[in-house]
Structure formats: structure tokens, C-alpha cells
Structure 1
Amino acid sequence: MKDVKCAPGLLLAVAVAGAATVVGGWLPVVGGPVSGVVIGVLVAAVRRPGERLRPGIATASRFVLQLAVVILGCQLSLARVVEAGAGSLPVMVGSLAACLGAAYLVGRRLGIGGDLRTLIGVGTGICGASAIAAVTPVIGAASAEVAYAISTIFLFNISAVLLFPFLGHLLGMSQHAFGLFAGTAVNDMSSVVASATTYGDEAGQYAVVVKLTRTLLIIPVCLGLAALARRRAAVPAAAHPAQRTSGAPRPNVFALVPWFLVGFLLTALANTVGLVPDAAHHGLNTLSVFLITVALSAIGLSTDLGGLRRAGPRPLILGAVLWGVVTVTSLALQFVTASW
């Protein structure tokens, strides 16, 4: 019965994702997932989906999104962390730490809510729409916040594609250095490839390896956010000790780990040990991108446009600041670690 209720909204999300995939093929720098959000928002602006469609749209925006993250692991190899080279890890981790720290401090200063600044922070610091997709169910972010975060990330992705190759030539960066720069400072894979291959084939190949390695940072970040959410949820109970019984069980540590992150890690491990055939990589990658497109299309369909208007320009300002922080930090760490 539940499946029947979900069918209409799920089919609508799939239809929007199909159209978005076509648009993404025409505009590869934009890509299908971002196109899905945009088309979904446009459909919602013309006529917001009614009660009959909402269960399926909710399923697409949550479960389908989580499933996409699991399948995304099939294109990663844990050995790529080593292959990317020890020199890339300080740049990746340092850039992420600077980005998340700035997201917290600057976001609070601008009066931006915790969920939105977290989404913009992980989207800028890790891997754009994929990181936002992974974090959304962990923190329970609203659809309007997800749509705003993705739109902000997309704007600065396009800026990076246009400006970074010029900046690389201006600074005299080698192919290896620019590949590391693009892999750590650009967000979505399509934009990483577009920026790095413009600079050169060698830069493009190395940037992809760094970007895939950087994607693994989703796991510790999501685990940390899950633990933080669990701790905050426990605060009301701690504030009323009289309501607790002495025999109450201790929280299960494993409950902090979302099922889809376990699946993500297991599929990445399976790919590392060779259980995922090389011939299946392309198909699985295409499937994961389409499922992310379906999920983000559903998020677009359920977007509260009034909420976006109420958010104002401050999240965009935060996105600009974080983009600058990641860019400068990546370049500075490459210089300090002699990765230039």
C-alpha cells in the first residue's frame, strides 16, 4: 500500500530527472543533478505538488538519495588514497578544515542557520552536490536549504571552471600542481574535469584521482555530524534526569552510523579488493549520477520558494567567502608542502 502511495510522486521525480539528464548532456559543466534541482524548482513554481505526490517525492529525496550514495562508493578504491600521494593529503585535509571552520564562524556571524551553513560548508569543502546529498539525511536539512546550498555551490563551480585555468597559468603551476589544485578546490566532478582538462591531460588525470580520494572525506564528516546530532537530541533528556531510569540502556555506538554510509564504505572496499568488475564501473557511475539526479529533482519539486526568498543574500555571501578560503588554502598548502 505504501509503495502504491509513493508511485505517482516517484514517477514525477524520475521524469524530471530524465529531462535533467538530457539538459546535463547538452551542458556538461552544469550536469544532470544541478539541472534536476533547477527544473524541479521551476515545476514547483508553476504548480507545487499536491498531497497525492508528496509521499513519492519524499521517498525520492531521502531513500533514493541514500541509495545513490551507496552506489557512488563503487567507483572509489580505498587504495586511491595512497595512489594520490602523501603530498595531497595535507592539502585536502587542510582545505576541508579551513572551509568547515570558516563555515561555522562566518556563517554564525552572518546569522545563517546551522543546517544551511553545514550544507554550504561540506559542499564547498568536499564534493559539491554529492556531499550535500550525503549530509542531508544525517542532519535532516529542509528542502529549501538543500536547494539554496546546491545553487550556491553551482555558481562558484562555474566561476572555478572559467577562472582557475587562467589563474594556474598566471602562477606558473605545473600539470601535477594544477591537478592537485583543481581536485581540492573545485567541487563537483564535472567541474573538476572541465577545469583540469582545460589546463592539460596530465592535470585532468591527476585531478580526478585527487577528487575521488577527497570524496572519501564524506565518511568522517558524516559520522561526526551524526554523533553531534545524536548528542544534541540527548540534551533534553539530560536536562530532566528525573525522567530517566537507572536501568536505561547506554546509547548504541553503532546507531550513530547511518546505514548508507556503511554501505558506501563497503562498496568502496568491495571495489578496492576487485569484487566490482572494471566493466561495471561506467554503468554503476551512470546509475549513481541518475539516482542523485532523481533525488535532487525531488528536492527541487518540494522546495519552498518563499523560504528561499526569506533566506536572502547571506548564504550566497557565505559561499563566496568559503570559495575564497578553499582556493587560498589549497594554494598556500601546496606552496608550504612543496607540492607546487
Structure 2
Amino acid sequence: MTQLTKKLPGLLLATGIAVIAVLIETILPGHFIGSAVLAMFIGIGFRALYYKPELLNEGVQFASKKVLKFAIILLGASLNVSIILQVGSRTLIVLLFTLLTAFGGGYLLGRLFKINWKLSNMIAAGTAICGGSAIAAMAPVIEADDGDVSYAISSTFIFDMGMVILYPIIGQLLSLSDQFFGFWSGTSINDTSSVVAASFAFSEAAGEIATMVKLTRTLAIIPTVIIFSAVYFRQKLKQPNQRKEKVSLQKLFPWFIACFVLFAGLNTVGLIPAELSGAMRQASRFLMVIALAAIGLKTNVRQFARTGWKPFVHAIILSSLVVVVSFAVVAIVL
């Protein structure tokens, strides 16, 4: 009870910010700014104006770590591996090239700009897969700093804002088909809400295709998190004080990702009813908003200034590369 009392103020504050963010999202036209991103920015602003660490820290820490992991677990219940069969091999070909571009280009740009590997790869994951959700899923397994998490999400979000406006215009100017536009937007715009906003602005048919493609792309979270979990564990073993640590399945395959995969599997074989799956997805989205509000509350604006402009340039160049590669590959495979 004492532990709960200590966590309550920070948890309630993060939840209150989440509610405000959801309300703002429903009011804003177009719904192209997701409530999770809004919550993070509100949290950052609140931290800059008023924050009492001794009162709020425990609850904010709980929300940013535990609530985040629970949100990722519930997200699995809304994923269905069988959708890969529905969108076909062409989608997988496009996704293969965009994933290679994002992570390969991210590695080179990270080295060029001398950005720490955690931030660089979170930007790459956000660009390659699904923006904030991928970054949030990857952050716990590599023990990323909250400031880097905020920076990575901010970087990919700013690019998305421009793409939501530009994509429909470019699509109309180039007289793209609904199918071409749906594949292109679904494989190259970062955040799910931005994909939906841009593609449905072009046409309803393009929006439906893009949504299906984006769901397939989201499944890449599973192998990405497992790979980076193994990479980070190997790096820890190289440290002098970690040499005696034994390899364990739990360290290579974090428990919350195991639960995420389990729920995705149960949903794929139809053991989770559609109504329950939908409810779990909604719960996952709101818990993610709470978690990102907490991450915002833990982020000091001065950290952004210390990090500098290079990660933003990194994200813009990388996202632009993915846009171009996606367009080229879609033109070839369709």
C-alpha cells in the first residue's frame, strides 16, 4: 500500500496528461498528430514549467517502464500474422528494401554524425517500422535513456507532419493509382496515424491498402526487438563487470516481447475474439499514451539542447531515403 501511495501522484499526472492528449487529438482536424506524441510533448512542457521529483518520480518511473511494457503486450493482441498472406509477397519485397535502407543507412549516418548507437538505431527503428511504437518497444531492451527516446520520437514525428501534407499532393501530381499510393505510403510514412491520415486523404481505397500494408510492417517489431536484445546483451558481456553473467533466454528474449508474440499468435489462430482484440488494442493505445506522457515528464528540455541538431538531420535524411527507395521498389514490383 505504501508503494502504491508513492506511485499514485506521478501515475495520475501521466494519466491526466494522456486524457488531455486524447481529447486534443479528437478536436484537431485530420487526426494526423497521434495522442501519444501529443502526450509526450505536453509532458515535456509540464516538466519545464513545474515538476516535484520527490512527489512524482516513482509514479512517472512506473508509467514509463511498467505501463509501457504492458501496452506493448496488449498491442500483440491486435496483430495477425495471416495478413502477410493477404497483402502478398510484393509488400514483403518492398518492406525488405525499406528495412535494409533504414537500418543500413541509419548505421552509416550514425557513424557519420557520431550519434550514440542507441539513439541512432531507435531513429532507424521508428523510420523502418512504425514510429513511436517501434521506438517504445525497442527502448527497454537496450536500456535507452528517456531523453533519447523522446528525441527519437520527436525526430520521426516532425518528418511525418510534413509527409501527411505532401504525400496526397505528390500522389495527385504524379497521377498515382490507389494501389501504388497505398503501398508507397504504407511502407514509407513512419507513424500509423500519419499513414492513415495521408492515405485516406488521397482516397478511401488507398487508405484501406495502406492500413493493411502498415499492419504487416508493424510485425517487424518482433524480429527487430529480439535482434537488438541479443546485440545489447553481447555488448554488456564485453564490459569487465559483466563477464561472469550467464546467457539466458530471458535476457535474449525479454518477457514482455514473449507475451507480445504469444498474444499475436493467439490472435492469428482466432483464439482471441474480434471484440476482445479490438478492446485490447484500444487499451494498448491508451496505455502507450500514458507511458509516453511519463517519458515526456522525465525529459529535460536541456537534454535536447545538449544532444544537438545532428539526430534531427539524421532522421530527416534517413526518412527521405526510405521514401525514395519505397517509391522506386513499388514502381518495380507493381
Shift of 1:103: 1.0
Matched, 1:278 2:274: yes
SS, match of residue 76 in structure 1: coil
Task: State the partner residue of 2:253.
Answer: 257
For 1:238 and 1:57, how far apart are their aligned partners in 2?
A: 30
Task: State the partner residue of 1:16.
Answer: 17
Matched, 1:75 2:78: yes
| Correspondences of 1:31-110 after superposition (within 5 Å) | 31-110=34-113
Task: State the partner residue of 1:229.
Answer: 232
AA in 1 matched with 2:130? C
SS, match of residue 326 in structure 1: helix
Aligned residues: 331
AA in 1 matched with 2:8? A
For 1:25 and 1:131, how far apart are their aligned partners in 2?
A: 23
Q: CA contact under 8 A between 2:180 and 2:331: conserved in structure 1?
A: no
Task: State the partner residue of 2:155.
Answer: 152
Task: State the partner residue of 1:141.
Answer: 144
For 1:150 and 1:209, how far apart are their aligned partners in 2?
A: 23
AA in 2 matched with 1:144? G
Task: State the partner residue of 1:217.
Answer: 220
| Correspondences of 1:172-183 after superposition (within 5 Å) | 172-183=175-186
Shift of 1:4: 2.6
Give TM-score scaled by structure 1 length: 0.93
Shift of 1:220: 0.7
1:184-211 C-alpha deviation (Å, 9 max, x unpaired): 1011111111111111111111111110
For 2:235 and 2:291, how far apart are their aligned partners in 1?
A: 27
Shift of 1:15: 1.0
| Correspondences of 1:185-224 after superposition (within 5 Å) | 185-224=188-227
Matched, 1:330 2:311: no
Matched, 1:127 2:130: yes
1:256-285 C-alpha deviation (Å, 9 max, x unpaired): 001111111111111111122112333222
Matched, 1:171 2:174: yes
Distance 1:121 1:4, change over 3 A: same
AA in 2 matched with 1:5? K
SS, match of residue 2 in structure 1: helix
AA in 2 matched with 1:313? W
Greater Cα shift, 217-226 or 46-55:
46-55
Task: State the partner residue of 1:300.
Answer: 296
1:96-151 C-alpha deviation (Å, 9 max, x unpaired): 11111111111221121111111111111100010011011011111111111111
Shift of 1:254: 4.4
For 1:22 and 1:49, how far apart are their aligned partners in 2?
A: 26
Runs (4 or more) in structure 1 with deviation over 4 Å come to 237-240
Q: CA contact under 8 A between 1:69 and 1:288: conserved in structure 2?
A: yes
Q: CA contact under 8 A between 1:179 and 1:206: conserved in structure 2?
A: yes
SS, match of residue 138 in structure 1: coil
Shift of 1:237: 4.4
For 1:183 and 1:49, how far apart are their aligned partners in 2?
A: 42
Shift of 1:239: 9.6
Task: State the partner residue of 1:26.
Answer: 27
Greater Cα shift, 129-138 or 277-286:
277-286
Give TM-score scaled by structure 2 length: 0.95
AA in 1 matched with 2:277? H
Shift of 1:182: 0.9
1:211-256 C-alpha deviation (Å, 9 max, x unpaired): 011001011111111001110111124997xxx6xxxx95224430
For 2:65 and 2:231, how far apart are their aligned partners in 1?
A: 20
Q: CA contact under 8 A between 1:8 and 1:56: conserved in structure 2?
A: yes
Q: CA contact under 8 A between 1:16 and 1:294: conserved in structure 2?
A: yes
